Structure 1
Amino acid sequence: MTQHHSTLLVLALCSALLSSPLAAKKAEPLSYQTTPVSVPAVHTADSSLVLSMEQIMADPDWIGRQPEAAYWSADSSQVFYQQKREGSELRDWYARPLNAQGNGTPVSLAQLHTLGSETAIYNRDRSLQAWLFEGDVFVRLLPNGAITQLTRDNAAQSDLQFLLDGRLAYREGWSFYAHNLVSGQRTELVSLKTEDSPKAPAVPSGYLAQEQHKLIAFIAKEQQAAEQRYQAKQQLKQQNNSLAPGAFYLGKGMQVVAASLSPKADYMLVSVRKASKRNDNDIMPNYITANGDIAAQPVRGRVNDVVPAPQRLLLLNLQDGSSTELSYSSLPGYNEDVLAEVKAENAKARGEKYKSEKVIRDIGLMTDWYWSQSAIRWHSNGQQVALMLKALDNKDRWIATLDFAGKKLLPQHRLHDKAWVNYAFNDFGWLNNSDTLYYLSEETGYAHLYVKPLKGKAKKLTSGTFEVANPVLTQDDSYIYFQANQSHPGIYEVYRAVLASGEVEQLTKLGGSTSFSLSPDEQKLLLNFSTNLLPNELYVAEAKPAAAVTRLTHTVSELFKQMPFKAPQIVAVPSSHGEQPVFAKVYYPDNYQQGEKRRAVIFNHGAGYLQNSDLGWSGYFREFFFHNLLTQQGYVVMDMDYRASKGYGRDWRTAIYRRMGTPEIEDLADGVNWLVENANVDRNRIGTYGGSYGGFMTFMALFTQPDLFQAGAALRPVSDWAYYNHPYTSNILNTPAIDPIAYERSSPIYFTQGLKKPLLINAPMVDDNVFFQDVVRLVQRLIEQENINFETAIYPVEPHGFRQPSSWLDEYRRIYKLFEQNL
């Protein structure tokens, strides 16, 4: 049996053991599997090899260079993907025909513009494909494949859009153009100017100016001529259709957030806000520079300093040149004091009393850094538009449509969350052939898929204790494809909802982590699949249930295949603080139940809202290697998806609201108890470590529960949330101006006096995510408290995610030394 077939057979057998029917009702108990699971090895490893720190922390090229950014060709016959060039940060493009063998062939630089793009668009009858390459516009005629380059200039185009009349629209800056593909004529549709509207020449105000115009004939004559020229220009614009339409002037000091053109090119929706000015004090010193000087690099603002500006939503009529500001007052809850309880608690702490009153909330489009989809979605017929709006206090998300005649928003859906509305699961849009919306919502506690007619009630298409993501609608509205972790929180497969019947069909059963891309002809799925032991590779299958899966790429190195890596088991740790268990990876050494009680380490993943105890390949692959090395040394290792982690529903996500560092450490304590009771671990020989959010957790564990662990390593850690960024932190803790209690309750710098056990603090100095300042302030506080239980290692050239193998090696040698000396 070939390696290819044996791999798929193992995966299929594993998945068959794990699959279960779709869960149904909100009130039902947890429906996914909680017994220990792991994906078997798919390569034959050499068990005699001893892992070395030098090898596992080396440049990851030794693992293999996995496919990246893969997408379909326009004719659905091949896929394109990038692969890192060995020993370089550069990427090369490869073409992999479905009917070929091997990993495909490199695409020459001279041919890159012909590939299309992952974000390519199609006209309504799918006879044309358009895409951008290096800021220029290309069009392919289907099915013969002939390519036309429409632009070749230094004015980068963006936001491609086929109009209903066949023209291709795009923008340059904030000017929008339509290109006639038959005549070649390019027409400016609308230009947005962040300036005040020009006015007719007028006599300057003031005594001296007035007298000058009365006394000097030349000045009066020039004034009259200027007025005549202005009037003549206005008349020409009104009476001559060959001229471009007049610009829309949005006001000086304003910033365009987003603008979206109707497919009929008759309307445009524009969101604007006051332009914010950078704080010159937001800098990061860089001590290792090419010229030997210290560089002060600009960085993001702190949540304490950032005050997001509300957005004004404008409807521009491109036919008559009128502009109407749309009111948010039709949105339910637009004037609720949603932070009344928070404000009252903080007022009480100050010895004051808070009186709740109606307040007009700041609202704008859902256009945050973590979301790439447009928040303005026009129906393909150009007659309807839907918008996704959010309150800047993070407590509400609305979907609204527009009454063009009444020029007002019509609310279609409100998602309110007392904690915060998730920055994931916000996909939405229109069905192609009816006035019906589809969208994701966490309203029942898990992200599920809904459809809603404009004048009807919403219908839930999926249900159960799992999360739906990345919905993709077919052109004929037959199916919505999506990814979900239905059978187990750590197993992601591809499903589709049959819109006619409401039935949900499972399409893949691979047993690890599977994402997908639907082919342009909607007949095939490009799958990106991985397991705990196999980095991601590309596969293809027909877009139907139980279809055979064919592997397209084999990019893992022979050296990696020989390594004696073992997959962890995924276990469900009983929680002492709720019914839902804490899912965790556990790495076991050989014969761990025999002999003396074992040492153990608990790893804390970063990001907070991230899932690491799943069955796919982890972004924390170096940690995966390190944990295998530790098991060879006799350690037991646990990697927990503590509360706040992704993949387990809304309540798990929001458990940390206003109290970061409390539920997570309670979960770590449950993990310690589980290791002692189930894995032959000595309670007095357990350490912990983690980076970023995991470093924050290490701080909180050692500071607030000093007897829980015997040592800890905090890497690139947050010490004071008031210094972190606004988009992430204000969701969870509100803002320091409104909710200082939450910040003081959640920031490690307030609890340093609790440190009793050895602490290693590793800090990159050019970290523009968690600033080096976080470590500096906390270390100074420990010094002032005369605490000697810590050591600090700095990394002068490293950002938040290390880049140099020497830095990775140094960091993990220090972590290993800490555990060896103290456990």
Structure 2
Amino acid sequence: MIKNRLTWFPACSLKVRAVPLLIASQMAMISTAMISTTTPALAMEGGKLPLTIERMNASPALAGTSPRGLKLSPDGLRVTYLAGRKDNQSFYDLWQMDVKSGESSLLLNADKLATNELSDEEKARRERQRIYGEGIMEYFWADDSQALLIPASGNLYYFSLTDNSVTQLPIGEGFATDARLSPKGHFVSFVRDQNLYVLDLATKKLQAMTTDGGGAIKNAMAEFVAQEEMDRMTGYWWAPDESAIAFTRIDESAVEQVTRNEIYADGIKLTEQRYPAAGKNNVDIALGVVTLKDKAINWVSLREENSKDKSKDIYLPRVDWLPDSKYLSFQWQSRDQHQLDLQLVALDALTKPKTLVKERSDAWVNLNNDLHFLKQQSAFIWASERDGFNHLYLFDLKGKLKTKLTQGEWAVDELEYIDETAGWVYFTGRKDTPIEKQLYRVPLAGGKVERVSKQAGMHNPVFADNQSVYLDYFNSLSQPPQISLHGDKGQQLAWVEQNAVKQGHPLYDYAGLWQIPEFGELKAEDGQVLQTRLFKPVPFDASKKYPVVVRVYGGPHAQLVTNSWSEQDYFTQYLVQQGYVVFQLDNRGSAHRGTQFEQVIYRHLGEAEVNDQKVGVEYLRSLAFVDADNVAIYGHSYGGYMALMSLFKAPDYFKAAISGAPVTDWRLYDTHYTERYLGHPEGNEKGYEASSVFPYVKNYQAGLLMYHGMADDNVLFENSTRVYKALQDEGKLFQMIDYPGSKHSMRGEKVRNHLYRSLADFLDRQLKSAK
């Protein structure tokens, strides 16, 4: 999924000035004023030191202490998290906070663990997980809260909290990936050499649960599109009672094997990769259950006996055990993604699955992680967009709807926690405004939705396993990420990391110039509401005219216009201090607005999205302080695609554009993502052609900068080189910067310093040189 790669970069999208004949009709759709949709965040106090590009990327991080990997121990007595070091924000140690005393301390120094080179498989997996850094990157609590499992550099470590000892586990030769503790903490499981292994912690006996892995056969491993597009990073699942493990077996034989060049400064690495491009073959997938007692493997039938659809060309996006360990559920998705079925199978009748819920769409059915089977009643909670917005439903185990837990023209983000004893369902959503993520709860029996979180901004709660106590990972435009402990009604119990921007905080010296945007709404051509953010220059003089940078993503499952803290906005703050207006608009196709808003793009990408960005530019032209002749657009990934499409399709709207790591021909991207939005190439040839940038290259005039990582394994470098060649064949002048060894996310302080300095220089030359 390309959108999740935007850890630092805004979605890229190029917009160009409107054709005169369209101006009148589009102006009629623009709101006469920017309308506030939420309480504006307060500006920060602090020094007025100008922000530099070098400081944006240096340590300590401007956001201050911003832990990751938040967890509550199963007994609820400790909060644990990973925190970067002051002298190296990308090197993580394990920290803890005592819930009773509120005292924080270093729990485990990562220097005690090995720091060997990662395997290619693990590097790829971390890239899919968006895990970047060194030191301790993952850890897992034992059920008794007395120990932790810590994977590091292919080895596994058992950290005992009773005596603070660290023991390397005897897992044999090779690199262990996807390691975890079993539900009751008696075993450690992992994947090595494409097979599943289990280590008994009491006896230290190691068993291979599968043995046929190798070559094109992978056991207990998630295939490429499952990792990249389905948010499924694993291929195995423990039964709650530890009696068995469900696992996938994938056969990649039919998937096209391509030779991908990764270009580094000191040479070229040829990588053989089975990449399922749009319209090509996917893996063959099977679901098995292996018992720990005798290592017997039995296979699950993936369709009911009377089902007319016996196709093997399907996806298996989710697998979940029921609490009693006697039943297994799995989600079956058709290749065209119009169908998603939740199926249930008994462990003693694996060949006889029954369908509990059917989801259907003429466009596509979005996946989620919100299935939860209850323990105290024979029922489950299921999330669905069947009424146009993502909401929670309660079903019995026969698939009969019991009650609709949430409803309305707003979307649920995620199911967070269920307190069956007290009868509450906790979830995050957009009930109050689409630009904030709040925590709510609703009675399990159905009833009124209550808001639990208090502050305006983005709340990401982490609940304890067995009680309604949660950690709130909160941020807003004026508050870098902070973490607090809360009770069941949202009452704050303690700070884990207040991260207040005060004297001594890394941001404090710069905070006095930090700009808070103005939120607003515009109307798309079909009348739907578009959310916007506008950052004014600092200092601001209403009598002057300022050049504009439109920062865009524009693709599905993403959202830029939020009341949130984002490292992507550091460059925005730099630009406003250099005298630019920065504008953002979430066009149709973006997330959290319902299916009508999102599915406008079905079978034709780059049309509605570009039209909406034109509406944004028309609004900018109505502002007295905007220099309408000097507007640029900048985006990365899908935003890079949007930048090219906007510049090529509507060259009268933008004077310049920056396109980072763009998709340029959707036939080059993977099956699950591309076919979700465009369908199969054989059934939508015209849609694929119209959604490519190449039919519009001839319209390009001037003012383009492209950049790409030359080892990008997500949006392949070929996407950019094809555009280079097309522009060169047309005799068009443009600029390009390619980064040896860089992946899609463009990591590394030196790389980012060079990139952002180059972007700033390009914008200055394009938008300011004529003045």
TM, length-normalised to structure 1: 0.74
2:364 aligns with 420
2:232 aligns with none
What's the CA shift for 1:320? Answer: 11
For residue 467 of structure 1, the aligned residue among 412, 430, 449 is 412
In 1, the alpha carbon distance for the partners of 2:204 and 2:505 equals: 56
2:553 aligns with 605
In 2, the alpha carbon distance for the partners of 1:771 and 1:742 equals: 21
What's the CA shift for 1:741? Answer: 2.1
For residue 567 of structure 1, the aligned residue among 513, 516, 540 is 516
1:675 aligns with 620
In 2, the alpha carbon distance for the partners of 1:761 and 1:117 equals: 35
Letter in 2 for 1:720: D
Give per-residue Cα distances to partners, 1:306-365, cap 9 Å, x unaligned: 411342344668789584551514687x63xxxxxxxxxxxxxxxxxxxxxxx8362342
In 1, the alpha carbon distance for the partners of 2:590 and 2:107 equals: 39
Q: Does 1:813 align with 2:742?
A: no
2:211 aligns with 193
What's the CA shift for 1:611? Answer: 1.2
Q: Does 1:120 align with 2:146?
A: no
Give per-residue Cα distances to partners, 1:387-432, cap 9 Å, x unaligned: 2222233222211111545841111111222222224x23212101
In 1, the alpha carbon distance for the partners of 2:59 and 2:326 equals: 54
Percent identity over the alignment is 21
* Matches for 1:541-560 after TM superposition, within 5 Å: 541-547=486-492, 550=495, 552-554=497-499, 558-560=505-507
In 2, the alpha carbon distance for the partners of 1:322 and 1:296 equals: 37
Which has more radius of gyration? Answer: 1
Contact 1:515 1:529 in 2 (8 A): yes
Change (3 A) 1:146 1:106: closer
For residue 312 of structure 1, the aligned residue among 286, 291, 294 is 286
Q: Does 1:161 align with 2:186?
A: no
Q: Does 1:540 align with 2:485?
A: yes
Give per-residue Cα distances to partners, 1:589-609, cap 9 Å, x unaligned: 369683255432211137643
* Matches for 1:395-544 after TM superposition, within 5 Å: 395-403=338-346, 404-405=348-349, 407-423=351-367, 425-455=368-398, 456-464=400-408, 465-474=410-419, 476=421, 478-544=423-489
In 1, the alpha carbon distance for the partners of 2:426 and 2:437 equals: 13
1:383 aligns with 326
Give per-residue Cα distances to partners, 1:42-78, cap 9 Å, x unaligned: 631335x444455446567355342122222344233
What's the CA shift for 1:492? Answer: 1.1
Contact 1:419 1:654 in 2 (8 A): yes
Q: Give unmatched runs, 5+ long, in structure 1.
A: 1-32, 196-249, 336-358, 367-374
Contact 2:666 2:688 in 1 (8 A): yes
- Report the aligned-residue RMSD: 3.8
For residue 265 of structure 2, the aligned residue among 281, 288, 307 is 288
In 1, the alpha carbon distance for the partners of 2:371 and 2:432 equals: 25
In 2, the alpha carbon distance for the partners of 1:716 and 1:765 equals: 10
1:15 aligns with none
Change (3 A) 1:40 1:491: same
User: 2:324 aligns to what SS in structure 1?
Assistant: coil
* Matches for 1:204-353 after TM superposition, within 5 Å: 255=219, 258-260=235-237, 262-263=239-240, 269-276=246-253, 281-289=258-266, 293-298=267-272, 301=275, 303-304=277-278, 306-314=280-288, 323=298, 325-329=300-304, 335=309
TM, length-normalised to structure 2: 0.78
Letter in 2 for 1:478: G
User: 2:392 aligns to what SS in structure 1?
Assistant: strand
Contact 2:515 2:573 in 1 (8 A): no
Q: Does 1:360 align with 2:360?
A: no
1:5 aligns with none
In 1, the alpha carbon distance for the partners of 2:167 and 2:137 equals: 12
Q: Does 1:624 align with 2:572?
A: yes
User: 1:698 aligns to what SS in structure 2?
Assistant: helix
What's the CA shift for 1:37? Answer: 3.7
Contact 1:526 1:541 in 2 (8 A): yes
Letter in 1 for 2:313: D
1:76 aligns with 76
2:543 aligns with 595
1:585 aligns with 533
Change (3 A) 1:329 1:590: same
Change (3 A) 1:821 1:540: same
Q: Does 1:756 align with 2:756?
A: no
Contact 1:284 1:299 in 2 (8 A): no
In 2, the alpha carbon distance for the partners of 1:517 and 1:655 equals: 34
In 2, the alpha carbon distance for the partners of 1:116 and 1:86 equals: 17
For residue 149 of structure 2, the aligned residue among 105, 109, 132 is 132
Contact 1:471 1:483 in 2 (8 A): yes
Letter in 2 for 1:97: D
What's the CA shift for 1:666? Answer: 0.8
Name the stretch that deviates more: 33-42 or 483-492.
33-42
Change (3 A) 1:265 1:86: closer
For residue 393 of structure 1, the aligned residue among 336, 339, 344 is 336
What's the CA shift for 1:505? Answer: 2.5
User: 1:535 aligns to what SS in structure 2?
Assistant: strand
Q: Give unmatched runs, 5+ long, in structure 2.
A: 1-33, 115-135, 222-234
2:224 aligns with none
Change (3 A) 1:778 1:302: farther
1:353 aligns with none
In 2, the alpha carbon distance for the partners of 1:507 and 1:666 equals: 38
Change (3 A) 1:264 1:762: closer
Give per-residue Cα distances to partners, 1:82-129, cap 9 Å, x unaligned: 22224433212222334556764463458889x99764363xxxx576
Change (3 A) 1:148 1:626: closer
What's the CA shift for 1:612? Answer: 1.3
User: 2:688 aligns to what SS in structure 1?
Assistant: helix
Change (3 A) 1:725 1:477: farther
In 2, the alpha carbon distance for the partners of 1:128 and 1:594 equals: 59
What's the CA shift for 1:691? Answer: 1.5
* Matches for 1:642-657 after TM superposition, within 5 Å: 642-657=587-602
Q: How many residues align?
A: 683
* Matches for 1:32-71 after TM superposition, within 5 Å: 35-37=36-38, 39-41=40-42, 43-47=44-48, 49-56=49-56, 61-71=61-71
In 1, the alpha carbon distance for the partners of 2:555 and 2:93 equals: 30
Letter in 2 for 1:363: I
Structure number with higher strand proportion? 2
Change (3 A) 1:437 1:729: same
User: 1:776 aligns to what SS in structure 2?
Assistant: helix
Contact 2:477 2:565 in 1 (8 A): yes
What's the CA shift for 1:669? Answer: 0.9
Letter in 2 for 1:417: S
Higher relative contact order (CA 8 A, sep 6+): 2
